Structure 1
Amino acid sequence: MGAYLLLAVAICGEVLGTTSLKLSENFSKLWPTVFVIVGYGIAFTTLARVLTMGIPMGVAYAIWAAAGVALVAIIGVVFFGEGINLAMIAGLVLVIAGVVLLEMGRTAH
């Protein structure tokens, strides 16, 4: 499996874990709690594998974190009715732009 595909799996695991964390209601609900453990287990084991596949640590972590932040924010708005405003949207755009610049800088030399 390619490094970026495996990184996408790590991102999905992190999003699953974080979303389930909210649904677990302070670990009082069994299945969401199980999904927290499984999601973060997938996230960290696949991210660890990605770091051995040639993507620099800073770039891999930045992509993983930024994509997770953006996806969890979108899930919060769409599925949990959490509010969003222009400043929050601008913040997400800046986070994603920062990751793009990191990746461009990595491939520019």
Structure 2
Amino acid sequence: MSWVYLALAIVTEVAATLSLRMASQGRALWYAPVGVGYLVAFTMLTLALSEGIPVGVAYGIWAAVGVALTAVASRVLFKEPLTRVMGLGIVLIIAGVLLIELGGAH
């Protein structure tokens, strides 16, 4: 169940961040999903930690997947740039998190 909580934390954090982008464009109604999304995201992250995922692993995965999903979604939804260099950065972040995960397995 811990991985489900972590997945929900990631999805809701990304949704809240994308909602923040909408709110920043003068659409005040988007502040409600921002607040709710971040509240749910941190609650789910807390539950994932309480189920036994180490904080370094959970936060690393949350950050890496969150960065990747936010970059791709902002490209699709807002036509923001997603260059090859940015893509390489995402790959390196994910590789670093995988190394942390593998190192924590010992």
TM-score (norm 2): 0.94
Contact 2:72–2:82, Cα closer than 8 Å, also in 1: no
Residue aligned with 1:51, SS? helix
| Identical counterparts, % of pairs | 47
| CA contact 2:2–2:52 (8 Å) conserved in 1 | yes
Quote the residue 1:39 is aligned against: 37
Aligned counterparts of 1:24 and 1:73: Cα–Cα separation in 2: 18
Partner residue, 2:24? 25
**Structure 1 residue 25 displacement after superposition:** 2.3
Q: Report the AA paired with residue 14 of structure 1.
A: E
Q: Deviations over 1:54-104 (max 9, x none)?
A: 111111000111111110000111111011211111100000111111111
Paired with 1:16 and 1:46, the residues of 2 have a C-alpha distance of: 14
* Contact 1:27/1:33, CA 8 A, preserved across alignment: no
Q: Distance in 2 between matches of 1:69 and 1:59?
A: 15
CA distance in 1, matches of 2:36, 2:70: 17
Task: Give unmatched runs, 5+ long, in structure 2.
Answer: none
Give the equivalent residue in structure 1 for 2:57: 59
Rounded Cα–Cα distance in structure 2 between residues aligned with 1:24 and 1:64: 23
Deviation for aligned residue 1:52? 1.1
Shift of 1:51: 1.1
Displacement, 1:27?
A: 6.4
Report the aligned-residue RMSD.
1.2
Residue 94 (structure 2) aligns with = 96
Q: Is 1:4 equivalent to 2:28 in the alignment? A: no
Bigger helix fraction? 2
- The answer to whether the 8 A contact 1:21-1:27 is kept is no
* Matched AA of 1:94: L
Q: What TM-score does the superposition give when structure 1 sets the normalisation length?
A: 0.91
Deviation at 1:33, TM superposition (A): 0.9
